[in-house]
């Protein structure tokens, strides 16, 4: 696989943007669906609770108005740093708060927009109409007869409590929004005993497609496609995937993926020493804006690849960040040449998130590169019986000198040799990501020799590192794995291998394009088949 992926990533992309834009991606050369061998691992038949953001999108969609929900809910449990994941459940605290929120929103929506929400004002048959209109949209599939009866009973109960049509609709909305059929993305298929493979229903396919690519419920067109049965065709799935990838919410979805992968989405919850970095609080939101805008440029408009993320020669900066970087221009594609920066690893958001409050952290930066770009498991010191002693703070030594203990201690050196070497290449950036030539009056040294993916590399600095990573097949494979973990919301190396085998079958010129990889996934059996697992 590595060889194939090597070829995959060896593809010269040339200038960025050659892959076209999301609205008109290149037509894939693969015409039929992608079958999997019977041994290949599938995703499990499962229920995935929507993320807080997906709940917000879905709720806003049903109520016909964006509502602030995600920030009001307890935070998600993450897997590998990703919010979309199948481990998400409904804890009591979450449910109680969500229920209270729904109560308020349903009341407000029916008070403010009854005419828009209710299919008819009042009278016989209006309850049925409301249930038939809103029910399938909330559950993202047709209602069963018993569901229909129960929902109608909710409408009537609300109406009978003196609320009339408004009260009926309010209680109907509450029953819909609190239902597990709304809160979970179901990928169960039909029937299926343990260890059997099942195929998703057309409506499940529609929902999976939409939440995977947009983080939002299916639109009318996709729902209708499920209805007519056309989604069993790989071609039609690919058609809708391309259509969805051209929609605006796709931006948010890809931004979130990169921010969570880069471990910078919590930047607003970090602080730096106010004494050493007085501008940090003010620049923090700008740093995140920059990374988001950069993701738009590289991923959304250009189909995206890890190569482009790592080695794009421009920044997407406003005047304040341009000043911080010492650039003479600003805008979505401000040239970085001469700035000592390149791609996403030299962005302030990454550098600040992977640093301490007062000093840079070669360990954190090196650790990120190994875990998230090389997919290496890092042994924690305690696992091999080492109790960590932090290098004492010092104003006389550079950070690199302070971490010297790692190379003088045999026990530490085994792991830190590579970890620190990679981290040292970033030493020309301080704890908030500003360029520096010196630390405490001493020149910083960024050159290092590191063993990476079985190769001994001489690195002059982190720009050099980024360029080498961008060319590495291992990095490309690792990035594909992480992308799959996010977009499939599952973390299972065996299923990832199935995904990688699908990527291999793409035409060489498309393999580096995340959009194309996702479309290939959508076309494949991997997207529509599930394994029934007993535990």
Partner 1 sequence: MKIHRRHFLAALGASGAWLGLDSNRKAQANAGENPLRARAENGEPLRFIGVYTPHGRAHELWAPGPNFDLSYDNAILAPFDDPSRFGKSYRSKLLVLDGIDLSAGIAVGTTGHDGPRVILTGSGADGKTPSIDQYLAVEKGLGAETLHTSVVLGVGNDGSEIGANVSYSRGATPVPKLIDPEATYAELFGAPLGAKREELDRERRLGKSVLDRVRADLSSLEARAPASEKVKLEQHATALREIEKRLAGVPASCALPLRPDKSMFPKLRAYGGGEPYFQAITELQIDLLARAMACDLTRFATLFLADLTRSKLFPGLPEDIHGDVAHRYDARTDRHSGTPASWLALATQNRNTTSHVARLLHKLDEAGVLDETIVYASGDMGDPARHSSRHVPALVAGGCGGRFKLGRYVDLRGTGTRKDYGVPNNRVLVSICQAFGVDENRFGDSADAGLLTGRLEELYA
Task: Report the interface residues with partner 1, using CB under 8 A.
Answer: 44-47, 49, 74-78, 87-96, 99-100, 144, 146-147, 150-151, 153-154, 157-158, 161-162, 171, 174-175, 178-181, 184, 186, 188, 192, 194, 266, 268-271, 273, 356-358, 379-383, 387-390, 392-393, 532-535
Query: What minimum distance in Å lies between the beta carbon of 147 and partner 1?
Result: 7
Nearer CB in complex with partner 1: 269/410: 269
Of 182, 142, 173, 136, nearest to 155 by C-alpha is: 173
Nearer CB in complex with partner 1: 156/230: 156
Query: What minimum distance in Å lies between the beta carbon of 309 and partner 1?
Result: 25
- How far is residue 194's CA from residue 332's CA, in Å, rounded to a whole number? 51
Q: Are 260 and 79 in contact (CB under 8 A)?
A: no
Q: Are 254 and 299 in contact (CB under 8 A)?
A: yes
Nearer CB in complex with partner 1: 309/432: 432
Query: What minimum distance in Å lies between the beta carbon of 105 and partner 1?
Result: 13
Nearer CB in complex with partner 1: 167/217: 167
Q: Is 235 exposed, middle or buried (0-12, 13-18, 19+ CB in 10 A)?
A: middle
Of 187, 216, 212, nearest to 62 by C-alpha is: 216
Query: What minimum distance in Å lies between the beta carbon of 527 and partner 1?
Result: 19
Angle at 47 between CA 45 and CA 51, to 5 degrees: 135
Nearer CB in complex with partner 1: 106/334: 106
Query: What minimum distance in Å lies between the beta carbon of 403 and partner 1?
Result: 14
3-state secondary structure of 84: coil
Q: Which two tokens stand for residue 159?
A: 């109406």
Nearer CB in complex with partner 1: 93/447: 93
Query: What minimum distance in Å lies between the beta carbon of 308 and partner 1?
Result: 30
3-state secondary structure of 388: coil
Q: Are 418 and 451 in contact (CB under 8 A)?
A: yes
Indicate the DSSP class of residue 27: P
Nearer CB in complex with partner 1: 44/142: 44
Nearer CB in complex with partner 1: 380/442: 380
Query: What minimum distance in Å lies between the beta carbon of 330 and partner 1?
Result: 28
Nearer CB in complex with partner 1: 66/393: 393
Q: Which two tokens stand for residue 28?
A: 């894939």
Query: What minimum distance in Å lies between the beta carbon of 267 and partner 1?
Result: 10
Cα separations in angstroms, 457 against 6, 239, 413, 454, 523: 18, 43, 17, 9, 39
Query: What minimum distance in Å lies between the beta carbon of 129 and partner 1?
Result: 18
Query: What minimum distance in Å lies between the beta carbon of 87 and partner 1?
Result: 7
Task: Give the 3-state DSSP-derived string for 214-275, with helices as H, strands as E and coil as C.
Answer: HCCCCCHHHHHHHHHCHHHCHHHHHHHHHHHHCCCHHHHHHHHHHHHHCCCCCHHHCCCCCC
Query: What minimum distance in Å lies between the beta carbon of 533 and partner 1?
Result: 4
- Per-position b or e across 488-505, b if 16+ CB within 10 A of its CB: bbbbbeebbebbbbbbee
3-state secondary structure of 522: helix
Nearer CB in complex with partner 1: 187/525: 187
Nearer CB in complex with partner 1: 389/508: 389
Longest CA–CA span in the chain (Å) reads 83
Indicate the DSSP class of residue 384: G
Query: What minimum distance in Å lies between the beta carbon of 248 and partner 1?
Result: 29
- How far is residue 472's CA from residue 480's CA, in Å, rounded to a whole number? 13
- How far is residue 302's CA from residue 333's CA, in Å, rounded to a whole number? 13
Nearer CB in complex with partner 1: 495/514: 495
- DSSP letters of 463-498? HHHHHHHHT-HHHHHHHHHHHHHHHHT---HHHHHH
């Amino acid at each position: 696989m590595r060889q194939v992926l090597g070829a995959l990533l060896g593809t010269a992309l040339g200038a960025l943007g050659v892959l076209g834009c999301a609205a008109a991606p290149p037509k894939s050369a693969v015409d039929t669906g992608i079958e999997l061998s019977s041994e290949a691992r599938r995703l499990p038949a499962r229920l995935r609770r929507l993320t807080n953001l997906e709940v917000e999108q879905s709720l806003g969609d049903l109520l016909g108005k964006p509502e602030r929900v995600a920030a009001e809910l307890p935070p998600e449990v993450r897997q590998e740093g990703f919010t979309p994941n199948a481990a998400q459940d409904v804890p009591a605290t979450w449910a109680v708060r969500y229920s209270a929120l729904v109560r308020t929103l349903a009341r407000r929506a029916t008070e403010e927009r009854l005419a828009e929400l209710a299919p008819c004002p009042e009278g016989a048959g209006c309850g049925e109409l409301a249930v038939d209109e809103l029910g399938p949209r909330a559950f993202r599939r047709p209602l069963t007869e018993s569901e229909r009866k129960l929902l109608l009973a909710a409408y009537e109960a609300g109406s009978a409590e003196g609320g009339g049509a408004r009260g009926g609709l309010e209680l109907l909305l509450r029953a819909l929004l609190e239902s597990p059929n709304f809160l979970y993305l179901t990928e169960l298929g039909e029937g299926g005993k343990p260890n059997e493979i099942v195929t998703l229903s057309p409506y499940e396919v529609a929902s999976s497609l939409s939440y995977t690519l947009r983080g939002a419920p299916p639109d009318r067109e996709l729902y209708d496609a499920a209805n007519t049965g056309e989604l069993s065709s790989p071609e039609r799935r690919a058609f809708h995937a391309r259509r969805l990838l051209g929609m605006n919410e796709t931006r948010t979805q890809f931004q979130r993926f990169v921010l969570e992968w880069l471990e910078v989405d919590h930047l607003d919850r970090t602080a730096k020493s106010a004494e050493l970095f007085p501008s940090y609080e003010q620049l923090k939101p700008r740093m995140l804006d920059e990374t988001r805008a950069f993701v738009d440029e590289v991923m959304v408009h250009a189909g995206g690849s890890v190569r482009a993320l790592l080695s794009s020669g421009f920044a997407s900066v406003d005047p304040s960040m341009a000043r911080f970087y010492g650039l003479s221009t600003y805008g979505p594609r401000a040239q970085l040449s001469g700035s000592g920066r390149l791609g996403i690893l030299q962005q302030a958001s990454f550098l600040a998130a992977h640093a301490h409050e007062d000093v840079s952290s070669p360990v954190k930066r090196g650790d990120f590169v190994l875990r998230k770009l090389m997919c290496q498991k890092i042994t924690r010191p305690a696992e091999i019986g080492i109790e960590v002693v932090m290098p004492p703070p010092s104003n006389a030594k550079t950070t690199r000198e302070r971490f010297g203990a790692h190379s003088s201690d045999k026990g530490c050196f085994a792991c830190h040799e590579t970890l620190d070497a990679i981290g040292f290449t970033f030493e020309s950036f301080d704890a908030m990501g500003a360029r520096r030539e010196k630390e405490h009056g001493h020149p910083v040294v960024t050159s290092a020799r590191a063993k990476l993916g079985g190769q001994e590399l001489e690195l002059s600095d982190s720009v050099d590192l980024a360029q080498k990573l961008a060319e590495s097949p291992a990095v490309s494979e690792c990035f594909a794995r992480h992308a799959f973990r996010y977009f499939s919301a599952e973390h299972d190396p065996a299923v990832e291998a199935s995904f990688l085998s699908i990527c291999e079958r793409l035409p060489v010129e498309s393999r580096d394009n995340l959009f194309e990889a996702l479309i290939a996934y959508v076309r494949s059996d991997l997207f529509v088949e599930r394994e029934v697992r007993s535990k």
